[in-house]
C-alpha cells in the first residue's frame, strides 16, 4: 500500500492531484476543513478504487495539524506528503493587516513545516518518502499586492532546499513545484489570465511522487505556460 497525505484537496490543484494519485492506485489522507467540496473529492477518489479518508484540519492551527498528523500515523506511515494548500489575501503592504500577514505565513509556510516535522520521523524509519511542496512562480519574483504570499512562497523554497540537504542519502526526497497562473479559484481576481491547467500541475506532482529518480532531491520545478 502507498499512502499520500495531501493538503488542500477540496478543489483546484489539490483535488486534481488527489484524483491523479488515485488513478495510480495510491490511498489518500485528505487534510482539510470539512466541506461539501472536500466530501466530493473523497467520493471521486473512492470511485477510482482507493481508500480516501478525510482528515479534519484547519492548517492555521498548530494543534489541529498535530492531531491530524497523529490520526494519519495511527493508520499507516505515509509514503508521500503533498503540501499543497495555500491562501492569498491581496493588498498593498500598507494595507496588509498583521492578521492577514500571519494567516498567509501560517497556512502557506508554517503548516508545511509542522506537517513535515510531524510525519518525517516515521517516514525516515520506513526508509522511504517524498515530500512535495507546492510553491509558486511567486517563489522567484515579487508581485505588487501579494507581499505576504510571495514571502511565504520564497520561504517554502528555502524550507525545501534545507530539507533536501537533511535528506541527502536517506532514501527520501523533497522537491518544490512552482506553477505560474493556474486555472483555479485562487487565480480569480488576480488580473492574470490562466496559462496552465490544474491537471498539468497534478501530473508534474505525481511524476515527482512516483516516477522521478531520487536525484531530483532539492529540485525546483518552474512551470510557466503551455
Ligand atoms: N492558482 C494559481 O494560479 C497558482 C499559481 C501558483 C501556485 N499556486 C499554488 O497551488 C496550490 C493550490 O492552489 P489552488 O490554485 O488549487 O488554490 P485553491 O483552488 O484556492 O485551493 C486552495 C486549497 O487550500 C485549502 N486551504 C486554504 N486555506 C486553508 C486553511 N486555513 N486550512 C485548510 N485548508 C486550507 C482550501 O480549502 P477550503 O476548501 O477549506 O478553502 C483549498 O482546498 C497553492 O499552494 C497555491 O499557492 C496556485
Helices (H), 111-214: 111-126, 147-166, 198-206
Q: Is the CB of 186 under 6 A from ligand 1?
A: yes
Distance 3 CA to ligand 1 centre (A): 21
pLDDT in tens, 117-167: 999 999 999 999 999 999 999 999 999 999 999 999 999 999 999 999 999
* pLDDT at residue 196 tops 80: yes
Catalytic residue status for 149: yes
Helix 198-206 × helix 12-23 angle, to 10°: 50
pTM to 2 decimals? 0.98
Which of 28, 36, 35 has its CA nearest to residue 7?
A: 28
Q: Is the CB of 18 under 6 A from ligand 1?
A: no
Span between the terminal Cα atoms of the chain, in Å: 34
pLDDT in tens, 4-60: 999 999 999 999 999 999 999 999 999 999 999 999 999 999 999 999 999 999 999
Q: Among 13, 56, 82, 105, which is best to mutate for testing ligand 1, by the most ligand atoms less than 8 A from CB?
A: 13
- Catalytic-labelled residue, pool 27, 119, 149, 201: 149
Q: Could you say which DSSP state residue 102 is in? A: H
What backbone torsions phi and psi does residue 222 show, to the nearest 5 degrees? -90, 135
Please report, rounded to a whole number, the percentage of residues in the chain having pLDDT higher than 70.
100
Amino acid at each position: 500500500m502507498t499512502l499520500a497525505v495531501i493538503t488542500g484537496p477540496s478543489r483546484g490543484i489539490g483535488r486534481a492531484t488527489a484524483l491523479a494519485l488515485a488513478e495510480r492506485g495510491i490511498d489518500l489522507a485528505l487534510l482539510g476543513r470539512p466541506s461539501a467540496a472536500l466530501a466530493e473529492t473523497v467520493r471521486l477518489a473512492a470511485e477510482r478504487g482507493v481508500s480516501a479518508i478525510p482528515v479534519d484540519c484547519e492548517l492555521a492551527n498548530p494543534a489541529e495539524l498535530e492531531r491530524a498528523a497523529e490520526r494519519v500515523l495511527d493508520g499507516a506511515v505515509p509514503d508521500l506528503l503533498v503540501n499543497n494548500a495555500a491562501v492569498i489575501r491581496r493588498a498593498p503592504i500598507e494595507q496588509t493587516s498583521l492578521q492577514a500577514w500571519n494567516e498567509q505565513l501560517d497556512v502557506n509556510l508554517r503548516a508545511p513545516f509542522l506537517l513535515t516535522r510531524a510525519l518525517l520521523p516515521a517516514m525516515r524509519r520506513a526508509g522511504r518518502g517524498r515530500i512535495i511542496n507546492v510553491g509558486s512562480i511567486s517563489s522567484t519574483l515579487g508581485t505588487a499586492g501579494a507581499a505576504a504570499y510571495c514571502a511565504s512562497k520564497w520561504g517554502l523554497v528555502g524550507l525545501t532546499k534545507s530539507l533536501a540537504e537533511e535528506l541527502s542519502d536517506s532514501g527520501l526526497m523533497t522537491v518544490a513545484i512552482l506553477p505560474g497562473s493556474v486555472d483555479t479559484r485562487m487565480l480569480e481576481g488576480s488580473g492574470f489570465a490562466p496559462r496552465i491547467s490544474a491537471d498539468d500541475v497534478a501530473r508534474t506532482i505525481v511524476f515527482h511522487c512516483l516516477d522521478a529518480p531520487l536525484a531530483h532531491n532539492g529540485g525546483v520545478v518552474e512551470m510557466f505556460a503551455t
